[in-house]
Structure 1
Amino acid sequence: MSVRKQLRTTLCGLALAGIVVTTTQGPAAAAPTVDGGAKASPVAAAEDTAARSLARSLGDAGWRAEVDRAVAGGTGTGLKALADKSRTRAATSLAVDVAAADRSVRAAKGLAADAGGLLTVTLTGAVGSHRAPLVAVAPSDDEAAAITAYDTNGRARTLDAARTPDVPVYVVGIDGEKAVEAGVKVLERELAAAGVATAAPSAPAATAATGYWTSRITSVRLNDDMETWIKGDAEIFSIVSGFGLDGKVRVDTVTHPYLNDEGTTYYPNQILVNWSQYKYNLADVVMMEDDGDTNYSALAKAIAAALLTIADLGAYIPLVDPVVDAIPSSFWTDDADFVDAWYTLARETTGTRDGAGANGRFTFDRYWVSAL
C-alpha cells in the first residue's frame, strides 16, 4: 500500500462518532474516461503535447543552446516566456503549441487567464552527461513504474520512475508555486461565495483592537512529500478549519512555498492560525500537495457542500474528517495528495505535534500580533 493510501486509511479510521456529512460534487469533479474506464488527465495531456513539441524543437542547435542556458541554474523556467524571447524558427513554432497547452492547463485547474503561463521546463537526470537529452513529463499516476520521454525525433523512450536516469532529461511540468498561489485565491473566493467564511478579500475581517493571538509554525518536517524524482519540489498548502465568530464554519488557507524536500526540517516562523477569527480556541488542519491536476474550483465546491451541513451545537466539533471526506478522491488520475492532518489544535498549543498520519511534524509557539 502506498504512503498516500496509508495516510487516507489512517485519517478515515479516526472518524468521530456522531458526525454525518453529505458531500455533493458538482460536474467539475467528473473526469472524462478513456479505454477501460481509466480517467484521463487534461493537464497530463497538455504537458505531454508540450513535451513532444519541445523535444522536436531541440533538433535546432541554436534553440537548444538557448534552452540549455535558461535551465542551467537548475530552477524551473517558464516555457512560453522562454520560447517567446527566442528568434529561432523552432521556438516560434513551439510557442504556439505551448500557448494552447497553457490554456488547457488553466481550464483543467479551474484558474482564470490572469494566472498566466504555468508550463515550465527544468533539467534533471545526469545533468553533466554529454549524452543526448530526452524530454519527459511526470506520470499522472503516482505509483507508475515507468516514465515516457521523447527524443528530438519525437520517438518515445521509457525511463524507470524509481531511478534517476543516466542521461540529461528536460522535464515539462507546472509552476507549482504559481499554480497554488492562484488556486488558493480561487478556493477562498468560491468558498466565500458559497457561504463559508474565509480570509478572502471580500470577507469581513475581525481583529481585536489591541491585537490578537496566533499559532506560529517555528519548525516543520515531512517524512514523505508525495513527489518522485521527476516532479521535483512539492507544492504544499494547508486548509485550516474551525468555527467563526458567527458560529458558522470557516476555512482559511495557508501556503508553504518553502516546503520543498522531504526529510528536511524548515524553520519558517509562519502564522498558521489567527485566533481572532475563531469562536472557539480550537481549529483543525489538513495539509495537501498540489499534484498538478488539482481543480481548485471543484475542490472549493466539494468542501463547501460538506462543511455547510455542520452546525455549531455549542461545543467544538473537529472538522478534519468532513474536509478529508469532501475532497474528491479522483478529480483526475493525479489529484491533490493528502500529506497529513492535525486535529484540534488549541490556541494554547505549543511544542511539537505529529500529524494524525505520522507523516508531518509541526512545532508551534504562541505569537501575539499587535494592532497597528
Structure 2
Amino acid sequence: MRAQFFYGTLCHPPLLEVVLGRIPPMRPARLGDHAVHWAAGESFPIIRPQPGAVAEGLHVPDITAEEAARLDFYEGGFGYQVHPVDVVHDGARTPALVYMPEPGMWRPGAPWRLEDWAARWGDVVVEAARDFMAQRGRRSSEQVLARYPMMLTRAGARLRARHDPGPAVVRRSPAPGDVALSRLETPHAGFFAVEAAGLAHRRFDGAMQTGVTREAFVMGDAVTVLPYDPVRDRVLLVEQFRAGAWARGDANPWSLEPVAGRIDGAETPQEAARREAREEAHLDLRDLRFVARYYPSPAAVTEYLYSYVALVDLPDSAAGPGGLADEAEDIRAHVLGFDDLMALIASGEVQNGPLLVTALWLSRHRDALRAGA
C-alpha cells in the first residue's frame, strides 16, 4: 500500500474511477508552498513549488500495487513522476506521494480550479481515459500520449453521438442487444486509427446476424464552413494538397474546399468553425447558418461532419495564403462569385463532398440571405 495526494484532474471521482478501477476512501488535504496552474494550452494542470501558496487536494491512504501501476501508466504518459511530500490533513502532517511533471515539459498557465476544468473538460477527459487505459499492456505511456489529442477529439465525438443520435422516423429505432460486440482489436493507432470488430447485429427479420467482421477507419468529428458575402454575392474557398486524393492516384491532388477542420475535444462545432476560419483564412465569423450534419462515408469511416455557411465581408483582400505553419498547412484562399462557384461544380473541378452539399444549401437560401443583407 502507498498513500497518494491528488491535486488535479484525479480529484474528479469519475476520472479516478476509470484510471484506478474504483473510487477509494479519500479525505481533503493540503500541500504547502505549492501552486496548481493550467498547463498552458492543455486540458490538465501542473503543480509547482511556490513559497506561501497552498495546493488543495485529496489524500488517499491505501493505493494497492496494481492501482499504483495503473496510476503510473496514466500519469507517466504526461511526463509526471511520483515525489514524496508531506501533506496536511486535519492539522496533522502525513507522508504521501504526489505526481509532478518533469521540469520544463509543460509551461504554467492561469491558476487552475477543478470546477472550471470539470465544466469544460470533465466528460471528455473521462471518455478519453477509457481509451487511454485500454492501451495499458499494449503500448507505452509515451506512445499513447502521442495520440492523446486525437483521443480527446474522438471522445468528444462519442459524447455528441451518444447524446444526440438524430431522429428515427424511417430507419430502425435500436433496442438494447441489437448490436453485440465479441471482439475489438486496434491493429493501427496513429493520428488516426483502424479498429477491427467481431460483432452480431439485429437483422430486419428479427434474427441476429452473427459472425460479422467489420473494420473501421477511426477519425473524429469535423466541421466545414463556407464563408459567403451576401452583399457582394461571393464565397471564399480554400485550396490545399490532400493526401487522400494523392494516395488514390489522382493526377491532381490539390483540392478546392470550404474551410474545415477537426472539432477538438471540448469544443462545440461552432467554436471549431470560428477557430478554423481564423487559422485557414484569417476570417472572424459573425453569423453562422447551419447547413447539415452527416457521415460522408459511414460504411467504414467514423468521421461525422457539421457544415455551415458563414455570412462575412469578402473584399478582394480576403484572398491569399493561410493555414498554420506549425501544422505544415499550405493553404491558398480564393474569393469567387457565386456563379463562378457553380460553374466549377458543373465542370467537375470541385470534387469535395461537403462543398457540394453546402453549395446546394446556399443555392436554395441565397436569395433570402441577400435580401436580409
Q: TM-score normalised by the shorter chain: which range applies?
A: under 0.3
Q: TM-score, normalised by structure 1?
A: 0.27
Q: TM-score, normalised by structure 2?
A: 0.27
Larger radius of gyration: 2
